[in-house]
Amino acid sequence: MTTPIDVPTTTARFRSYRWTTVVSKLALVLLGARYPYLSLAVFVAPELWLVYSVLIPNTSGLVPVKRAFAATGREVWLTIDDGPDPETTPALLDSLDSHGAKAVFFVIGEKVRRHPELARLIAQRGHELGNHTQSHPLAFFWCAGGARTAREIDGCCDAILEATQVRPRFFRSPAGIKNLFLCGVLARRGLAFLGWSSRARELGYASPERPLRRLVRGVKPGAILLTHDSGPNAKVRAEVIRGLLAFLSAEGYRCVLPPAGDGGTRR
């Protein structure tokens, strides 16, 4: 299988980080006495780059992240995280059907295990399922080791495969967080990291107006839009998706699925 992750490029970046780290430590020794502020800046620069690459969503320092696609017209990719959920997913599928919209559902493996019929329903209605980890470990995914990272990804892949007989081709981590082992784990499994162009960030809002305004500001041909199914603020999240679908239809946009082979490209 051709892997969509650019391993040589990412490995070269990490090697550059290691060499920069060595140089920064030497700089502390050689410049510290005469140029203390300069040496401090050189010393912390590699660590700041690493923290930025791990914790800041949508960055490609450690893992190539696809944030947009080459549209052929007024097309977007709608992505929906954190499902499936029997309280919200069926109604959401009806809303998508009413607009003729397709979406990539980034599902959590544990939820798929509990509700395999919903995963099958998503696929039967013409949508795609992506890997959103087995347990959604938001608090510690950034520091997970290679074995834990592999278990999170494999558990979700296996749950999707068993429920739908289709292996996912896209991955999105909780909140877009990366770790030092993620690139290799994804590459060995042929998974591409799908980011986003615009997201609603609905958490903490009692009404959908502000998250929806934030989301539609990023709508343009080739945009990847991030929304959520279930979880905290489930009602607001559903209203954001309904409002987004109405906006896209009024503006002449189509929600389409990534074509075969598109996981190997990135922008």
Told to judge if 154 belongs to the known catalytic residues of this protein, a careful annotator would answer no
Write phi, then psi, for 66 (nearest 5 degrees).
-90, 120
The helix (run of H) or strand (run of E) holding residue 185 is helix 182-189
Catalytic residue among 127, 228, 229, 262: 228
How far is Cα 244 from Cα 221, in angstroms, rounded to an integer? 15
Say if CB 83 and CB 105 are below 8 A apart.
yes
Told to judge if 81 belongs to the known catalytic residues of this protein, a careful annotator would answer yes
Give me the residues paired with residue 226 across strands. 79, 199
Cα distances (Å, whole numbers) of residue 188 to 5, 14, 26, 154, 263: 9, 18, 36, 11, 14
Catalytic residue among 81, 85, 229, 262: 81
Nearest CA-CA partner of 181 in 52, 14, 65, 17: 14
Which residues are designated catalytic?
81, 228
